[in-house]
Amino acid sequence: MKNLFLSTVFILSFCFSSTAQKAPYRVVFDVTSKDSLLHQMVIRWIGEIENADPNAQVEVVFYAKSLDMITKDRSSVAADVMRYAKNRNIQFRVCRVAMKANGVDQSQLLDGVGTVPDGIYEIISKQHEGWGYIKAAR
């Protein structure tokens, strides 16, 4: 009887473990640098994530001095940002506080780039929701 019980437990645990869902792929990137090489790295990471899991959710949050990455006539990765922004799972969000501090108007943002009231709070909120966090730095 004991062997039957142990066998049943083993079989049930195998069934549950083999049908368990993997954790959702959700990551928020924190970008504060005006370094164009860093901007290229972030674009590369987004592409790698998209290739690894097309259902992954990615949000890139910009504040401090990083606004060149998503500003018309200043971005070295403008075409990539606009292309990825068309994917509903990839979001680019700029802190309105940083926009004001850097003299950037909504009309200067690349197509597909949105805003948030506070970039730091946006990142904290995503972490609270279980998103992974990556500080983009080099």
> Is the domain defined by 24-135 classed in CATH 3.40.1260.10?
yes
Judged against a pLDDT cut of 80, whether residue 5 lies above it is answered with no
Mean pLDDT throughout 14-29? 72
Q: Are 91 and 84 in contact (CB under 8 A)?
A: no
Could you give the CA distance from residue 72 to residue 69 in angstroms, rounded to a whole number?
Answer: 9
101-123 tens-digit pLDDT: 999 999 999 999 999 999 999 99
Q: Are 115 and 86 in contact (CB under 8 A)?
A: no
Judged against a pLDDT cut of 80, whether residue 32 lies above it is answered with yes
Query: Which residues, other chains included, contact 105 with Cβ-Cβ below 8 Å and sequence gap of 6+?
Result: 99
Instruction: Look at residue 11 in the predicted model and tell me its pLDDT.
Output: 54
Instruction: Look at residue 95 in the predicted model and tell me its pLDDT.
Output: 98
Judged against a pLDDT cut of 50, whether residue 9 lies above it is answered with no
Instruction: Look at residue 119 in the predicted model and tell me its pLDDT.
Output: 98
Domain coordinates in residue numbering, the chain: 24-135
Q: Are 75 and 34 in contact (CB under 8 A)?
A: no
- Categorize the per-residue pLDDT at 19 as very low, low, confident or very high, splitting at 50, 70 and 90: very low
- Categorize the per-residue pLDDT at 22 as very low, low, confident or very high, splitting at 50, 70 and 90: confident
Q: Sheet harboring 57-62: ordered strands across?
A: 113-116, 90-95, 57-62, 26-31, 132-135
Judged against a pLDDT cut of 60, whether residue 15 lies above it is answered with no
* Percent of the chain topping pLDDT 90: 83
- Comparing C-alpha atoms, which of 67, 128, 56, 124 is closest to residue 93? 67
Instruction: Look at residue 6 in the predicted model and tell me its pLDDT.
Output: 46
Instruction: Look at residue 23 in the predicted model and tell me its pLDDT.
Output: 85
